[in-house]
């Protein structure tokens, strides 16, 4: 197990390195450089030159990269050129908000996706299966920012049950917090629920074809027990692994969801940064999301390994 962990960690290092290079290189796409942006339209050549000198834009790219990633690994992403606030602490403030939203959405998607997927697999080809499959496809095709707008229209504008925007921390006011997170969590969670349905359905279908299921049925077990104890338990492993890997979709969905509901998380931060031309913030959030994904897929591997006796017993 430890050997497996170390091997996987070592394999992740090059990926993390390339991610950081890709994110660093984004700034090469800028017409001109960031000094022009910081200086603004009216800056003199002298000012621009001074900014370049101060921020180190005159150094070779390799030096700039080393300085940037060195600082970033210690949580220092530089300062916002508008407010002069450090970006690192700003990120720390936003992370719990996005995490709260993502967890709420994940719980919702598992609660809907897994039962629906099981129903579809057990009654394969019948009405329920078709209904679930079509709904899942619709869920995947639904642009979540539109779903958000429609929910606001219904629950905030017409019915007035839920606030249209804003975020309340659960530690401040749990009830208001639940109200504020409900719509964003539905918007973020439904497409995920659709994906979970599809995963669960196919995982269950492949487990249901296994010999041990036939054996369990031949023993005369009731169908409910076969499904719950034998099929679902074995299907859960790939489902949970996939849930971990859905992080990317959650993060991407959070960008739009937070924008629609004015939730002050990482997603809103990156969009605001784009419009304030805070390129260092855009890079920081992009780097953070890439690194988190690599670490989560590592976690998924470990879970898969741990839950699968066949892999565990085989020496690596």
Partner 1 sequence: MITGQILAGPRGGLLNSRILRRFLRNRLALIGALIVAAFALLAILAPLIAPFDPNQTSWTAVRQAPSAAHWFGTDELGRDVLSRVIYGARASMLAGFVSVAIAFAIGVPVGMVSGYLGGATDAVIMRVVDAFLAIPFLILAIALAAFLGPSLMNAMIAIGVSTAPVFARIARGQVLVVKVEEYIEAAHSIGTGTLSILLRHIFINITPQLVVQATLAIATAIIAEAALAFLGLGQQPPDASWGSMLNSARSSLSLAPWIAIWPGLAIFLTVLGFNLLGDGLQDALEVKG
CB of 103 vs partner 1, minimal distance in Å:
17
Distance (Å, whole) CA 217 – CA 201: 20
CB of 313 vs partner 1, minimal distance in Å:
27
CB of 130 vs partner 1, minimal distance in Å:
9
CB of 175 vs partner 1, minimal distance in Å:
25
Q: Which is nearer to partner 1, 198 or 230 (CB)?
A: 198
Query: Rg of the chain's alpha carbons, rounded to an integer?
Result: 24
Q: Which is nearer to partner 1, 169 or 249 (CB)?
A: 249
Torsion, CA 26, CA 28, CA 33, CA 35, rounded to 10: 50
Indicate the length of the chain as a whole number: 316
CB of 34 vs partner 1, minimal distance in Å:
10
CB of 181 vs partner 1, minimal distance in Å:
20
Closest CA to 59 of 33, 29, 22: 33
Q: Which is nearer to partner 1, 122 or 152 (CB)?
A: 152
Q: Which is nearer to partner 1, 169 or 262 (CB)?
A: 262
Q: Which is nearer to partner 1, 171 or 275 (CB)?
A: 275
Q: 240 burial class (0-12, 13-18, 19+ CB within 10 angstroms)?
A: middle
In DSSP notation, 63-86 reads: HHHHHHHHHHHTT---B-TTT--B
Q: Which is nearer to partner 1, 197 or 251 (CB)?
A: 251
**C-beta separation of 109 from 192 below 8 A:** yes
Determine how many CB atoms are found less than 10 A away from the CB of residue 222: 9
Q: Which is nearer to partner 1, 113 or 148 (CB)?
A: 148
Distance (Å, whole) CA 188 – CA 165: 15
**C-beta separation of 79 from 35 below 8 A:** no
Kindly list the residues in this chain that would bind partner 1 in the complex (CB under 8 A): 14-15, 18-19, 21-23, 26-27, 29-31, 134, 137-138, 140-143, 145-146, 149-150, 152-153, 157, 202, 247-249, 251-253, 255-256, 259-260, 270-271, 273-275, 279, 282-283, 285-286, 289-291, 293-294, 297
Closest CA to 255 of 286, 283, 278, 279: 286
CB of 22 vs partner 1, minimal distance in Å:
6
Q: Which is nearer to partner 1, 249 or 308 (CB)?
A: 249
Query: Cα–Cα distances in Å, from 290 out to 40, 62, 65, 287, 311?
Result: 30, 21, 17, 5, 28
CB of 6 vs partner 1, minimal distance in Å:
18
């Amino acid at each position: 197990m430890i050997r497996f962990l170390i091997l996987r960690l070592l394999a992740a290092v090059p990926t993390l390195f390339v991610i950081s290079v890709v994110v660093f290189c984004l700034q090469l796409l800028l017409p001109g450089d960031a000094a022009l942006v910081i200086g603004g339209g009216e800056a003199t050549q002298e000012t621009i030159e001074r900014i370049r000198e101060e921020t180190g834009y005159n150094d070779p790219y390799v030096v700039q990269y080393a300085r940037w990633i060195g600082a970033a690994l210690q949580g220092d992403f530089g300062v916002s050129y508008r407010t002069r606030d450090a970006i690192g602490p700003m990120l720390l403030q936003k992370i719990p908000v996005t995490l709260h939203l993502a967890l709420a959405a994940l719980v919702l998607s598992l609660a809907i996706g897994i039962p629906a997927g099981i129903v579809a697999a057990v009654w394969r080809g019948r009405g329920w299966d078709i209904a679930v499959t079509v709904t899942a496809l619709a869920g995947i095709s639904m642009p979540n920012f539109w779903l958000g707008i429609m929910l606001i229209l219904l629950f905030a504008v017409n019915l007035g049950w839920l606030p249209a925007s804003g975020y309340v921390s659960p530690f401040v006011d749990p009830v208001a917090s639940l109200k504020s997170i409900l719509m964003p969590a539905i918007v973020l969670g439904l497409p995920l629920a659709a994906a979970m349905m599809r995963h669960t359905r196919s995982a269950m279908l492949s487990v249901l074809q296994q010999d041990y299921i036939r054996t369990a049925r031949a023993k005369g077990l009731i169908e409910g027990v076969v499904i719950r104890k034998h099929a679902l338990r074995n299907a859960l492993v790939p489902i949970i692994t996939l849930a971990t890997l859905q992080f990317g979709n959650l993060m991407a969905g959070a960008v739009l969801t937070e924008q629609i509901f004015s939730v002050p998380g990482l997603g809103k931060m990156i969009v605001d940064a784009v419009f304030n031309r805070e390129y260092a913030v855009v890079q920081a959030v992009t780097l953070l999301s890439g690194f988190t994904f690599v670490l989560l897929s590592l976690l998924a591997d470990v879970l898969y390994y741990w839950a699968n006796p066949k892999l565990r017993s085989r020496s690596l």
